[in-house]
Structure 1
Amino acid sequence: MNRATTAALSILALLSLTSLTACGGESGSDADSAQKPAATTPAEKQETPEERLKQMVITKADVSGMDVSDADVATSDASEFAFAKSQREVTVEEPVCAPLAYAMNQLPLDEPQADVTRSVSKGLNDPFTYVLLATYESGRSEPALTDLSKAVDACAGGFTAKANGNTSAYDSVTAEEPVAEAGDESVAFRSTLTFQGVEHTVHTQAVRSGEVLAVFFSVDGTAIANARPSDAKLPSAVVKAQNAKLA
């Protein structure tokens, strides 16, 4: 885990307090050889859903001038900085708002077959964008995105999520236009939160491409830690680069 990613996750944790040979043998005659069963070629190992996602997820080579790091807090050494490591740890007073809490805390929507997460930033003091890819069984990705869309409308007045003694409170949730149109459908929204009396805006977009969902979330952790107002917009270059790999 590099220093930049750990620092960003630390800030998110701070915010949450308020707001992963054929059978041998001796050779014999030609006749003996003919009676022996032919050697079989081992079946080619099938790629797992997680392995496929790792081939699809954004890398440093895809975004010029940015660092890309593994941000899978569920399995990394940075797990202690996460608001939650699984959906089971999260509680929301209004269950309809739960997908929002998942999307803004690098947790997958619904129940995917596998998921991977990366963090993207120009530098330690710049906003971080988290990219989560999740793949689903046939027919499961569309309902997952529908639930997120319903949550945006139902939780416009804000909501509070809790996990492991931490609390994340959001003042408002507002639908907005996607940063970049891609895939089969998209849902985009901004959320406001207040920390130490200062308002901050974070942005999220989810894109469905077949049975894969890409969720993008941007936050300016440095501004939050320094009580400086922030509006962490999603970088279009990151969204476009990731979507291009899913096309």
Structure 2
Amino acid sequence: MNGRTSTIAVSLTTAATLLLTLTACGSGDDDKGGQDGKGGSADKATGSSAPAAKKKPTKSAAQLALTKREVPAHTMVEPSDNFVFAKSRETVKLDKPVCAPLGYAMSQFPVGDTQDSFVRVAEKKEFDGAFTYVTLATYAPGKAQDAMADMKKALSACEGGFTAKGDKASNVYESVTTETSGTAPTPDADESLAFRATTKYQSDTHTVRTQATRHGDTIALYFAVDANAFLQSRSGNGEIFPAVVKSQEKKLN
């Protein structure tokens, strides 16, 4: 399946519809290989002073992805095509183009000029309405560094927020803040960054979190949202599952 599940479709008319959008999962075999999306070249490379990639990836994004049984107390499932924020990255429109890398990362699209990409969503086996989406992408040599540089540039330019418009909804982010604490540790990554963004649904503020790591020519994007908060009419605070990051990072090393 090649659709990406919408995660903050704040323009939807009811919280129940939003939660369905957040939680809809397919019935495919989560352990199978294959490519879940081909990367495009919507972002222009800006260059990077980061260290050179250690090695060229020898596996596709799908082969590097976690399977349903690889994370203790969690399961990995396949996103559904039934509810999507945008059919493709090229249809995502930003009021501030510089913020595009952040908008893509929070909509389960890869950043930059990729070779291939793959998406899975993690939930706890004792389900509590929280989700961590994992988007993996592989790149030609040097392109992953460019993608990380684009995200860092966006973080500096988009603190005041931005709007991302998809095919049927708009995600209005009121603020974007870089985070240096409270993120899952990624000691073996060549580069990493993390940020939180806030959006409002009705009168409640919802915080979502994103973490990005680069391992050579591969980038992992982790995105967390508290879906139950929308249904319960309360503020939400998405937290990235540490066990998911730990398991995925181990598989990337």
What's the TM-score, normalizing by structure 2? 0.75
Residue type matched to 2:184 in 1? V
Q: What displacement does 1:51 show?
A: 6.4
* Structure 1 residue 141 corresponds to structure 2 residue 139: no
Alpha-carbon distance in 1 for matches of 2:149, 2:202: 34
After superposition, give the CA deviation of every residue in 1:23-58 in whole Å (9 maximum; x if it has no partner).
xxxxxxxxxxxxxxxxxxxxxxxxxx8963222111
Alpha-carbon distance in 1 for matches of 2:144, 2:249: 16
**8 Å contact kept, 1:50–1:114:** no
Question: Which residue number in structure 2 is paired with residue 126 of structure 1?
Answer: 129
* Structure 1 residue 114 corresponds to structure 2 residue 119: no
- What are the ranges of 5 or more consecutive residues in structure 2 without an aligned counterpart? 19-35, 37-56
Alpha-carbon distance in 1 for matches of 2:5, 2:144: 27
Residue type matched to 1:180 in 2? P
- Other structure's SS at 2:159 match: coil
Residue type matched to 1:79 in 2? D
- Other structure's SS at 1:187 match: strand
- Other structure's SS at 1:99 match: helix
Among 227, 231, 244, the alignment partner of 1:225 is: 231
- Identity across the alignment (%): 41
* Structure 1 residue 203 corresponds to structure 2 residue 206: no
Question: Which residue number in structure 1 is paired with residue 10 of structure 2?
Answer: 15
Question: Which residue number in structure 1 is paired with residue 172 of structure 2?
Answer: 169
Residue type matched to 2:225 in 1? V
Alpha-carbon distance in 1 for matches of 2:203, 2:69: 39
Q: What displacement does 1:13 show?
A: 6.5
What's the TM-score, normalizing by structure 1? 0.77
Aligned-residue Cα RMSD (Å) equals 2.4
**8 Å contact kept, 2:118–2:135:** yes
Alpha-carbon distance in 1 for matches of 2:5, 2:147: 25
Task: Determine which structure has the larger helix proportion and give its number.
Answer: 1
After superposition, give the CA deviation of every residue in 1:147-191 in whole Å (9 maximum; x if it has no partner).
011111110011101122411000100000242123100010011
- Alignment: residue pair count: 207
Question: Which residue number in structure 2 is paired with residue 70 of structure 1?
Answer: 78
Alpha-carbon distance in 1 for matches of 2:194, 2:173: 16
Among 192, 201, 204, the alignment partner of 2:198 is: 192
